[in-house]
Amino acid sequence: MGQCLGRYFINEFLEAEYVANISDFLGKQLDENFNNLNIKRKSSGDTPDFISAWSSKNIFLAEAKGRRMESDFNADYFLKWREQFDRISVKSGETEISLKGYIIDVCIANEENEIPNSKLFVEDPATGGIPFEEDSMLFNLIKNGHYKHILEKLDLGFIGESLIYKDNLNSDKIQLPVFTTSASYKEYIGIFSSRVSKLTPLYKYFFEPDFMVNLKNTSKFFYGIETNIFHQLMKIARGQQDAINNIQLKQSDKYFNESVIEFKDGTIYANPNLISIKNIQQF
């Protein structure tokens, strides 16, 4: 719950659409396109959860917390949370840059604390280094890390890893089903998620009406990403890093009768009954 509401705060109040897991970068061998960056751990212990951005000039770290009791900024646990930002070093070239951070602590109103409304406690520590101004390479790394996480949700983590790590995806074509929604008629790569797990049936059955009816009836939601963005991600995964510039945020999220939500980053959550298969495509 803490991380969920923390990401909501990052998106809605700090206006950062791109959110990556800092653990994806810490001490990892990044793609050669990011060889000027070095994100590492200074000491053992917990580190912030996320590194987020909405432009090359607006990049920050965030740590999400959740408690059943009201927080106290002077408490020992808050001191420990601040120390998490001292364990991170972000270098551009040989220069350590200081990134602003946010501790986002959510206290949910419940029968134990008896507070009338849930509360949000936010503090803004920073990492060590010179004041941050702008870094387009770091911005692109975060952007790639954001889509890496999306691809992992789609059971395509092997593609996501090629967005940020050293080994590129080979040129062999990948065959995937393409779906459309009656709300917008855009094309998507995606998955149906059941009440217990993701559903990944054989592609050939998607064209059988009875199978699709059963799939929709047993699915909780459909989650996907626009195929035009997926094409660009495949280019990046195969070594064409400048394709990241072809991926731009939409003007705003779109809601269709609360049954379909199109997000600015090109992803979609939808009622499975509004999804149809169009064809099988190679990428």
- Read off the pLDDT of residues 21-68 as tens digits, 9 standing for 90 and up: 999 999 888 988 898 899 999 999 899 999 999 999 999 999 888 777
Residue 276 and residue 255: Cα distance in Å, rounded?
A: 19
Residue 73 and residue 81: Cα distance in Å, rounded?
A: 10
Q: What digits encode the pLDDT tens for the residues 101-146? A: 998 887 777 777 777 787 778 888 889 999 999 999 999 999 999 9
> CA dihedral defined by 252, 255, 260, 266, rounded to 10 degrees?
0
pLDDT score, position 203: 65
Residue 163 and residue 174: Cα distance in Å, rounded?
A: 16
Domain annotation covers residue 159:
no
pLDDT score, position 197: 62
Q: What would the mean pLDDT of 259-267 be, rounded to a whole number? A: 93
**End-to-end Cα distance, the chain:** 36
Q: Total structural domains in the chain?
A: 2
**In the predicted model, is pLDDT for residue 213 greater than 90?**
no
pLDDT score, position 198: 64
Please, what is the average pLDDT of the chain?
A: 88
Same domain, 199 and 131: no
E-strand stretches of the chain: 18-21, 37-41, 50-55, 58-67, 88-92, 95-98, 100-107, 119-123, 130-131, 175-181, 187-194, 198-199, 219-226, 254-256, 260-262, 267-270, 275-282
Same domain, 124 and 247: no
CA distances from 241 to 34, 141, 237, 251 (A): 10, 10, 8, 24
User: Cβ(120)–Cβ(66) under 8 Å?
Assistant: no
Q: What would the mean pLDDT of 156-162 be, rounded to a whole number? A: 95
Same domain, 124 and 173: no
pLDDT score, position 267: 96
**In the predicted model, is pLDDT for residue 217 greater than 60?**
yes
* Strand-pair partners of 102: 62
Same domain, 9 and 125: yes
Q: Six-digit token pair at 130?
A: 């010179």
Domain annotation covers residue 252:
yes
Q: What digits encode the pLDDT tens for the residues 75-93? A: 788 888 899 999 999 999 8
Closest CA to 140 of 245, 42, 46: 245
Same domain, 183 and 269: yes
Closest CA to 31 of 151, 177, 160: 160
Same domain, 115 and 215: no
Q: What would the mean pLDDT of 205-217 be, rounded to a whole number? A: 82
Q: What would the mean pLDDT of 194-211 be, rounded to a whole number? A: 70
Closest CA to 24 of 131, 158, 164: 164
Domain annotation covers residue 145:
no
Q: What would the mean pLDDT of 172-183 be, rounded to a whole number? A: 90
Query: Which of 118, 139, 160 delimits the end of a domain?
Result: 139
Query: Which of 94, 124, 139 delimits the end of a domain?
Result: 139
Domain residues for the domain of 214 are 168-282
pLDDT score, position 195: 61
pLDDT score, position 199: 59
User: Cβ(140)–Cβ(248) under 8 Å?
Assistant: no
Closest CA to 61 of 85, 87, 92, 41: 85
Element (H, E) at 27: none
Q: Which of 7-11, 32-36, 87-91, 274-278 has the lowest mean pLDDT?
A: 7-11
Same domain, 130 and 206: no
pLDDT tier at 201, thresholds 50, 70, 90: low
**Confidence (pTM):** 0.90
